[in-house]
Structure 1
Amino acid sequence: MSNRITNLGAATLESYVETRRNLLRQADELTVRIKRMEPVRTMDELNALLDLDRDRRLVMEMVASCSYVIEWLETGRRPGNRRGIERRAGYQREVPTDPASLPSASLWEEAAEPDRPTDEAGRFRLDAALRGLTERERSCYTLAHGECFSFTEIAAMLNISKSSVGTYIVRAQRKVDGNVGSPHFLVG
């Protein structure tokens, strides 16, 4: 197979379809040439046959790549994904955030109130609220919100069901919101 440089033009759906069509023709030609060479009698014929087979496999890989791009261009989605981003569950659309920014983002939305505590006090209340969770709730909550794992990944790590992970996180969120939202001073 000779190396030939061809200007394919713009990368459009039509150009990929045409390229795939030409590659399929080339693969068919190589298949016919391979069939004509059989049966093999000498070592030179075997080497030539192996070269043709290698070229044919390379062309078929190129066909697969073109098909992948064509599917992506036709559907507007990555091939192989069962759901587009707009149809994913809420936890799959979450954007990972820095755990240090959790208290400041959720606690002090209304900075206009003069009696709001400082960030350090808010962090103390968040730590106290996390200590008030059960071990399983704390694990699920910190893995989901602090480490940004999906429900499926958390379920696999903790060896529980995905729905249980959701339940634990909802319970933990309610407790954290209840404890962090109202100032409680812990003595001890």
Structure 2
Amino acid sequence: MEFNRITDLGPATIESYSETRRMLLRTANELTVRIGKLEPVRSLEDMENILTLDKDRKLVIEMIASCSYIIEWLETGRRPGNRRGIERRAGYQREIPTDPDKLPMVIHTAMPQETGQEVPKESRFRLEAALRGLTERERNCYTLALGESYSHAEIAALLSISKSSVGTYMVRAQRKVTDNIGSMIVLVG
């Protein structure tokens, strides 16, 4: 009958893991010495004992490797083997490329859909007030990007302009819309 000894290792600190690793190293050394004493193999029983001790030794060595891994993680503050933490990686290393066609469509319930519903008069007034002062090109770029969810490249292809021009028009349009919304006065009565 074999008994397992349960040891309270205390809090997870570098010191406690280092002490556990030292204890495991001593145990692995003792198992190696015991295997050495049983060699050369003279009987089947000796072979079974050596195999059992070797199995135990391999388990202890795996435990030592786990302790070493955790100690390195606690000392450096990052996963062992990584040169940089996730916060210092390049964008392509932090992000997961995703096909936009596979993302779920977001439908805004505030605006009527293509079901033939009329836009309420108040919403139409606010929208026209917000878009007031935009040039035709700025209005087209702004509504295609934010209203129809087109990318800058798609808008550039649709309007036969460059992508950088789309970005410029978007910045100008956003600035004007922000100014218009900030100065909007709603009269009640």
Residues 21, 64 of structure 2: 8 Å contact kept:
yes
The separation in 2 between residues aligned to 1:121 and 1:174, in whole angstroms, is 14
Matches within 5 A, 1:35-50: 35-50=36-51
Residues 126, 176 of structure 1: 8 Å contact kept:
no
Point out where structure 2 has 5 or more consecutive residues left out of the alignment. 109-126, 133-138, 174-189
Question: 1:122: how far off?
Answer: 2.8
Q: Percent identity?
A: 54
Q: Which position in structure 2 is the counterpart of 1:114?
A: 130
3-state SS in 2 of match to 1:4: coil
Bigger helix fraction: 1
Encode CA deviations 1:66-108: one digit per residue, 9 max, x unaligned: 0000000000010011212232123334488985699x9xxxx
Question: 1:63: how far off?
Answer: 0.2
Encode CA deviations 1:19-75: one digit per residue, 9 max, x unaligned: 000000000000000111111121111111000000000000000000000000000
Structure 1 residues 63, 173: closer, same or farther in 2, change over 3 A? farther
Structure 1 residues 89, 40: closer, same or farther in 2, change over 3 A? same
Q: Which position in structure 1 is the counterpart of 2:30?
A: 29
2:167 to 161, 177, 183: 177
3-state SS in 2 of match to 1:50: helix
Encode CA deviations 1:116-135: one digit per residue, 9 max, x unaligned: 879777353615842756xx
Point out where structure 1 has 5 or more consecutive residues left out of the alignment. 105-110, 134-171, 184-188
Number of corresponding residues: 137
Structure 1 residues 47, 174: closer, same or farther in 2, change over 3 A? farther
Residues 130, 176 of structure 1: 8 Å contact kept:
no
The separation in 2 between residues aligned to 1:114 and 1:38, in whole angstroms, is 89
Is 1:81 equivalent to 2:82 in the alignment?
A: yes
Q: Which position in structure 2 is the counterpart of 1:62?
A: 63
What is the root-mean-square deviation of aligned Cα atoms in Å?
A: 3.9
Residue 13 of structure 1 aligns with an amino acid whose one-letter code is I
TM-score normalised by structure 1 residue count: 0.58
Question: 1:174: how far off?
Answer: 4.0
Of the structure 1 ranges 34-43 and 21-30, higher mean CA displacement relative to structure 2 is found in: 34-43
Residues 20, 63 of structure 1: 8 Å contact kept:
yes
Higher RCO structure, 1 or 2 (CA under 8 Å, sep 6+):
1
Structure 1 residues 85, 40: closer, same or farther in 2, change over 3 A? same
Residues 126, 180 of structure 1: 8 Å contact kept:
no
Structure 1 residues 175, 35: closer, same or farther in 2, change over 3 A? farther
Structure 1 residues 129, 123: closer, same or farther in 2, change over 3 A? farther
3-state SS in 1 of match to 2:148: helix
Residue 146 of structure 2 aligns with an amino acid whose one-letter code is G
Which protein shows a greater Rg? 2
Residues 27, 56 of structure 1: 8 Å contact kept:
yes
Residues 8, 15 of structure 1: 8 Å contact kept:
yes
